[in-house]
Amino acid sequence: MQIKNNEILCIGEVLWDRLPSGAKPGGAPMNVALHLNAIGQNVSIASRIGNDAPGTELKSFLKTQD
Of the listed ranges 5-9, 39-43, 44-48, 60-64, the least confidently predicted one is 5-9
The mean per-residue pLDDT over the stretch 4-32 comes to 92
Identity of residue 59: K
Report whether pLDDT(3) > 70: no
pTM of the full predicted structure? 0.80
Contact by Cβ (8 Å): 44, 33 = yes
Average pLDDT, the chain: 91
Neighbours of 33 (CB within 10 A): 25
pLDDT digits (tens, 9 = 90+) for 34-54: 999 999 889 999 999 999 999
